């Protein structure tokens, strides 16, 4: 019997086993479901829902076309994706998962990206948001704001490297065409001067093509965002229950033992097995376990485990991404392999850059561990912080794109004069 034919029986058996565990452990099942619902309502809903609506409205106004024209000279040569991918990257890195996948799916619906480009884009724009990385992981779990530096460098730097690696994914026909004619240099200079004008013209054309009124656009944005946030909440509750039932049944302990053996072979502290197994399913649980692991574990290994978990994303996030990609022809497997490579790269970057970045380790701070309230990171100022991060990222990417255009034009002119 083929693997494909075995899929349905295995699914039925797994669901039946899950139902049996729910009946055997009703108290744990209810408590974990309420805990997942609390996480969704207190953290995910207020942090993601506004950005879902904002991204929908910006798409309707043609802002993506504006940034697409401005950022095309940078995104095409580096990542083999259209310039609109710069907007998706900025929104994804500021808002966290699954904003990058949602915007990529929208670009695919509007025929702004092909399947290969969409798979490249979603692979490196899915990341943790900076507020969670700084507030929850660094301050809340590790009790040291300085940890944000090494975690951010490894996590976002690893994402950039994934973007460079993913440019080799897919067919080769979309590689940027090489140009070398001397007459083309003058045309490039002219195009560079009129790029901003063409960007605003592209935004206006996209707005006219959309044709919806502001009220209709707002209504549809709220409706689609509500549908997506409910799917996200359902998946969070499901995986919260799933993980708790596996723990009650003793399955998680078996996974801990297997991973402990593998970590020992690789020369890593076996005590990190609980954090890594928890992070396999859910980011918050794994990152908390990494930060609160035994004091005997060297801090760089704890940070590497946290970076691995943040970059992998957890099966809960993977399920959210898969549900979004299901409405498109974008495949899940390239995304999964990219997450795994990103996780390994992020952990390796922590270990490689620990001494240059963190310097000599300081004594542990002498204060009581801080356990954050589930909604602490989503105070009113957090939304403004995210908007500020987004504006800074867009400004940086736009400036880099213009500098890249100028440098490429000068290089072509010098090459033509030889």
Confidence of residue 278 (pLDDT cuts 50, 70, 90): confident
What distance in Å separates the CA atoms of residue 349 and residue 373, rounded to the nearest whole number?
30
Do the Cβ atoms of 237 and 36 come closer than 8 Å?
A: yes
What distance in Å separates the CA atoms of residue 105 and residue 115, rounded to the nearest whole number?
10
pLDDT score, position 345: 93
Question: Does the pLDDT at position 5 exceed 70?
Answer: no
pLDDT > 70: percent of the chain: 79
pLDDT score, position 349: 93
Closest by CA position to 116, among listed 301, 411, 329, 406: 329
Do the Cβ atoms of 290 and 306 come closer than 8 Å?
A: yes
pLDDT score, position 383: 55
Q: Which two tokens stand for residue 89?
A: 């990257």
The mean per-residue pLDDT over the stretch 329-356 comes to 91
Q: Which two tokens stand for residue 72?
A: 């095309």
The mean per-residue pLDDT over the stretch 314-319 comes to 87
Question: Does the pLDDT at position 8 exceed 70?
Answer: no
pLDDT score, position 335: 92
- For residues 21 and 310, the model is more confident at 310
Non-local (6+) Cβ contacts of 228 within 8 A are 52, 102, 324
- State the chain's mean pLDDT as an integer: 78
Closest by CA position to 383, among listed 51, 30, 153, 41: 51
- For residues 370 and 310, the model is more confident at 310
pTM of the model: 0.75
User: Per-residue pLDDT tens for 65-114?
Assistant: 787 777 777 788 888 888 888 888 888 887 788 888 888 998 898 888 89
Question: Does the pLDDT at position 240 exceed 90?
Answer: no
User: Per-residue pLDDT tens for 169-190?
Assistant: 877 654 443 333 333 444 444 4
Neighbours of 337 (CB within 10 A): 13
Tell how far CA 85 is from the center of its chain.
14
Non-local (6+) Cβ contacts of 281 within 8 A are 239, 242, 243, 314, 315, 316
pLDDT score, position 380: 45
Confidence of residue 400 (pLDDT cuts 50, 70, 90): low
- For residues 31 and 414, the model is more confident at 31
């Amino acid at each position: 019997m083929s693997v494909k034919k075995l899929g349905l029986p295995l699914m039925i058996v797994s669901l039946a086993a899950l139902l049996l565990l729910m009946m055997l452990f009703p108290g744990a099942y209810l408590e974990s479901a309420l805990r997942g619902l609390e996480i969704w309502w207190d953290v995910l809903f207020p942090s993601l829902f506004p950005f879902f609506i904002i991204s929908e409205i910006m798409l309707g106004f043609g802002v993506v076309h504006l940034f697409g024209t401005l950022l095309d000279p940078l995104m095409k040569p580096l990542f083999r994706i259209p310039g609109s991918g710069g907007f998706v990257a900025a929104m994804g890195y500021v808002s966290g998962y699954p904003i990058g996948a949602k915007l990529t799916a929208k670009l695919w619906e509007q025929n702004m990206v092909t399947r290969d480009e969409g798979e490249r884009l979603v692979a490196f724009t899915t990341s943790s948001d900076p507020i969670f990385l700084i507030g929850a992981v660094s301050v809340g779990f590790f009790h040291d704001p300085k940890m944000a530096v090494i975690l951010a460098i490894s996590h976002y730097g690893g994402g950039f490297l994934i973007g460079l690696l993913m440019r080799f994914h897919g067919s080769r026909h979309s590689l940027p065409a090489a140009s070398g004619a001397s007459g083309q240099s003058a045309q490039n200079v002219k195009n560079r001067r009129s790029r901003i004008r063409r960007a605003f013209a592209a935004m206006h054309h996209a707005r006219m093509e959309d044709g919806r009124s502001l009220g209709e656009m707002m209504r549809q944005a709220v409706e689609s965002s509500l549908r997506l946030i409910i799917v996200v909440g359902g998946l969070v509750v499901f995986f919260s229950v799933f993980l708790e039932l596996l723990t009650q049944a003793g399955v998680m302990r078996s996974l801990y033992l297997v991973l402990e053996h593998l970590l020992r072979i690789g020369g890593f502290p076996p005590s990190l097995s609980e954090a890594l197994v928890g992070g396999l399913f859910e980011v918050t649980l794994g990152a908390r376990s990494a930060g609160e692991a035994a004091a005997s574990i060297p801090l760089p290994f704890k940070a590497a485990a946290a970076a691995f978990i943040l970059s992998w994303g957890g099966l809960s996030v993977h399920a959210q991404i898969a549900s979004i990609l299901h409405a498109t022809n974008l495949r899940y497997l390239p995304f999964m392999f990219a997450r795994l490579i990103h996780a390994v790269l992020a952990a390796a970057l922590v270990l490689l850059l620990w001494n240059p970045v963190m310097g000599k380790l300081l004594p542990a701070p002498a204060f009581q561990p801080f356990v954050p309230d589930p909604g602490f990171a989503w105070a009113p100022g957090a939304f403004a912080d995210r908007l500020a991060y987004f504006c800074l990222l867009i400004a940086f990417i736009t400036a880099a794109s213009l500098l890249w255009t100028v440098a490429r034009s000068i290089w072509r002119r010098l090459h033509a004069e030889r």
